[in-house]
Structures are given as C-alpha cells and as structure tokens.
Structure 1
C-alpha cells in the first residue's frame, strides 16, 4: 500500500466509529431528558421503559425482516440475547430511569460517563485491549470528571444519598455489558441481526417486571403526551441500540463506553436550559475532564493501525 492509501485507510478506520459515537451520544442525551419529562407528567419509569422498549424491538425486527437479516435463534444466540438484554439494557436503564426523578437528568447523564475506566480495566484484564498511554489517560480523565461530580452531589445538603448510590450502580452494568457483548459476540452474525434480539429480550423482561408488586405498566390516558413520549422514546431506543452494535463492532468496547460521555455533553445542557434543572455541583470542572477524556481516546483511536 502507498503512504496515501495507508493514511486514507487509517482515517476511514477511526472516522466511521467516531461518527457513530457522536450520533449514539446525541440519541442517549435526548433519551435521558425524555425520562425526566415523563416523570414530570406522571408516567412511571417502568411504563415508559417497558412500552418504548417494546416499540423499539418491533421497529428493529421489522427493519431486520426487510433486510432479510432476522436475529438467529439458537442456544448460543438466545443466551447472548438474554444476558446482553439484562445487563446492557433492562437493568441499567431501569436504574437510570428510576433515579432521574430523584437526582435529575443532568446528574444521570453525567454519571453514564463512568463506564470507560471499568470497561478499560476489564478489557486489559481479559486481554481484549493493549495498554495505550493516551487512551489510559483519556479514560482516567473521564472517570475523574464523573467522580468530581458524584462527590459534589453527595455533599449537597438535601442530597438523596440512596438514589445517588443506586444510580452509580448503573455504570457497572453498562461496563459489564460492553465487555460481554464483545467477548461473546456470535461468530458470523451481523450487528443488524443482534440488535433486534437483544432489545426484544429486554422488552420481554421489562414487561414481565410490570407484574411484580409495587410496579406498574399503566399509562395515563387523560392526555396524549404520555403516548407521544413513548413513541419518541421507542424511536430513540431503536436508533440507539442499532448504533451501539455498529460502534461495538467497528470501535471496540472502550470507544463504545464513551457513548455516555458524549451523551452527557448533549443531555446536560438540555436538562439545564430546556427543563430548568439546577446545574449539578462542579459541572464545569467535571465536564472539562470528560471532554478531555473523549478527545484523548478519539486521538488514540485515530493513531491506531488498521487491520489489513
């Protein structure tokens, strides 16, 4: 290959994953704020999550059928769908959606930036990633930003400590999901085929959770806004998880884990300026560290030598 061809190949190798990262982060930031709005109009977190996930699964299954790429059904893939759905979708999103009314959309949007370090450490331990100084500094910076935010929130006089701590469990599930999906990716199966299977599994779990004591899937029928929010959230989920699998395949688990960082850059301003949330404590230093982390990891991705 000529020098120009190598340079072009490297540029294409990192540019497409970076575009997927930015698009997925935009969708994630919007989704977080919809959960806040749903709480304000009396739509329970499980109802929003369960019905919108069902809608997203329907959309993805229709798209997969149109592409003649339905999710394969066998023992290996059913296990993959079930574990991915529980860890990456149902459990983590239920935690976040339940915590948002108590700690705010901007706080949740920012703590979703925590998975990078957990994912990176796990990837190193499992030998899925080689140590790179630039990338390590990047994920450490993003983690430091989220850490500063969490500590400042816990020190607030009226802090809901229980919900802050519960919300911090969500990133652990996300990091575990990032690693599991990469490590156990069924051989020869496309991202377009896996996404519908995982989202369908999550929808089934969330609908079943509606029968547990203290939970409900009831949607208020006195106005149309709850139904509109469910439809919009379903479309966002369908796009988010399709982008997630494409980014997982092209960028790897660590770049994927930065979705939360990009989502925070989108979600926090929306929560503050459009939903009139009070800005989180230490917003500026934490956001600056998160932005630095994204830049460093993107830089390390750009410098990586593409596979040939």
Structure 2
C-alpha cells in the first residue's frame, strides 16, 4: 500500500500534464490556420496564464517572495523552460506539422537522465535507464522517418529538435536551484510571468528594429473571434499545465518530469491526425508502443531514482 502511494500521484500528474501538453501543441496548429503568428499566440497565451495564476495565488496568499534567488529562478527557468523552446515549437508547427512537434517534445528524457546522473541527482537504475532509452527510441524512430520524407524542411526539423535540449536543461536547473521552502503554486506564476515579459520584449524589439516583422508580430487579428478564442483556450491550458508541471517536478524529479513529453506525443499525435487531418507519421504504432513501454519502466522505478 505504501508503494502504491509512492507512485500513484506522480503517474497521475504525468498523465494529466502530458495530456495538456498534447492539447497545447494542437492548439498551436489551429492558431496558425486562423492567421495568428507564433509569437503573438505564445506571448499572449503565456501572459494570460500568468495573470490567472497570479490572481489565484493572490486570493490564497501564496505569492512568491521576490529576492535574488527567486528572480534568478524565474528568469532562467522562464527562458529555457518556456519562452525559447515553446517559441521554436510553435514556429515549427506550420512548417513540419503538429504531429511531428508533439513527437519532438518526447525527446528530453535521455538528455535529462544523463544530466541527472552527472550531477548525482539520481543513482543509476537499470529499469529506469531502459525505460528512458525505450521512450527516446520510440520518438527517435518517428523523427528519423519524418526526416526521410520528400520535401521535408530540414531547417525547421533541426530547430524543432533543438528545443528538447533546452527543455532538458530546464528540467535539471529547476531541480538544482529550487528555492528553499517554495511551493509549486508559488513558482509557476513567477516563471510564466517572466516568460511573458521576455516574449513581449522580443516582439517589441523586433517591431522597432525592422518596422514590424510578420514573424515576430504581437498582433492578434480582430476580424473574427477564432484567434482570441484560441489565445484564451491556450492560456487556460497553460495555467493548469504549468501548475501541475511544478507539482510533478517536486514529486517525481527531473527525469520523471521529462517523460511528460512522451505522454504528450501519445496524446498530441492522434489529435493532429484525427481532428486536424494531418497524415499519420510513419511508424506511429511502433513508436507509440516503445514510448508507452518506456514510461511504464520508468514508473516501476522510484520516481526520483532513489
């Protein structure tokens, strides 16, 4: 019974957070279809989520204390964990498809696991190592088949595959530098608020430097309701996802947290295929089986590798 309580909460958080991640990727696909530029969609969604979480924390008297440690934490985690990788992912969706981006989010486990071993955040466990390798193998299979497709945009495929490295760095950083005594409810709004400021700053600087590049526009089309509705939907998704995200990190550690991308892929790819009409990626069945087995093996070990 004690063992069940050890893994039940992390597994539940993993499935919920990964599912929301899969939904988020497909919302980005819909945003592009209605004329929303990637930066505008991401920036205003992050700002909206930050406003929601700051409001909830204010009502609960759970606002984080601002000091050198927490400000550093918000800036670094916001840059490598939210702003930079998500901007790469969202910009890539129209070019490589939501299904492939959802799969790329499944790549961080191996990088995170290696980093955790090097920094001695985990001790080596054969079962967990095998799970990480299987999950990564499933995602790598799907990515390799994607690269073999004719007329594939190799630049954006490479850019998409860069983002998981940033996510892995963020997973390690947030664990190593977690402010003493801070709760997940305190850290999530600070990270999102900082990320929102960064993204708005990118848009403002780009607008001043080149007269308003479409690629870095912060404008939300107002000729119909769909763009605004999608921003609201993404902000709601981010609010819940990043609140659960920190809870998952606290309970499961960085390696277990990194598996949420694999879960997001299992959710996001079918949504992209069934609801958005994308062609199923080659090797979808085999890749999904490997990912599912990998998550299962990591779950069998201690969530923090202890």
Q: Same fold (TM over 0.5)?
A: yes
Q: CA deviation at 1:197?
A: 0.5
CA distance, structure 1, for counterparts of residue 139 and residue 184 of structure 2: 30
Map Cα deviations across residues 105-163 of structure 1 (whole Å, 9 max, x no partner).
11111111100000000000000001000000000011111111111111111111110
Match status 1:32 vs 2:33:
no
Aligned counterpart in structure 1 of residue 143 of structure 2, from 150, 160, 165? 150
Structure 2: segments with no counterpart, 5+ residues: none
Corresponding residue number in structure 1 for 2:288: 287
CA distance, structure 2, for counterparts of residue 248 and residue 119 of structure 1: 12
Aligned counterpart in structure 2 of residue 168 of structure 1, from 143, 161, 164? 161
Match runs of 1:1-308 below 5 Å: 8-211=1-204, 212=206, 213=210, 214=213, 215-301=216-302
Contact kept in structure 2, 1:10 and 1:303, CA below 8 Å = no
CA distance, structure 2, for counterparts of residue 86 and residue 172 of structure 1: 13
**Which TM-score applies when normalising by structure 2?**
0.95
**Which TM-score applies when normalising by structure 1?**
0.95
SS in 1 for 2:89: helix
Q: CA deviation at 1:9?
A: 2.3
Contact kept in structure 1, 2:256 and 2:303, CA below 8 Å = no
CA distance, structure 1, for counterparts of residue 2 and residue 199 of structure 2: 42
Contact kept in structure 1, 2:70 and 2:179, CA below 8 Å = yes
Q: CA deviation at 1:237?
A: 0.4
Corresponding residue number in structure 2 for 1:4: none
CA distance, structure 2, for counterparts of residue 83 and residue 303 of structure 1: 23
* Number of residue-to-residue matches in the alignment: 298
Structure 1: segments with no counterpart, 5+ residues: 1-7
Task: Evaluate the alpha carbon distance shift between residue 205 and residue 302 of structure 1 in structure 2; reply closer, same or farther with a 3 A threshold.
Answer: closer
- More off after superposition, 146-155 vs 103-112: 146-155
CA distance, structure 1, for counterparts of residue 305 and residue 185 of structure 2: 26
Map Cα deviations across residues 72-119 of structure 1 (whole Å, 9 max, x no partner).
100110001000000000001000000000111111111111000000
Contact kept in structure 1, 2:108 and 2:165, CA below 8 Å = yes
SS in 2 for 1:210: helix
CA distance, structure 2, for counterparts of residue 264 and residue 243 of structure 1: 18
CA distance, structure 2, for counterparts of residue 261 and residue 114 of structure 1: 7
CA RMSD for the aligned pairs? 1.2
CA distance, structure 2, for counterparts of residue 259 and residue 228 of structure 1: 26
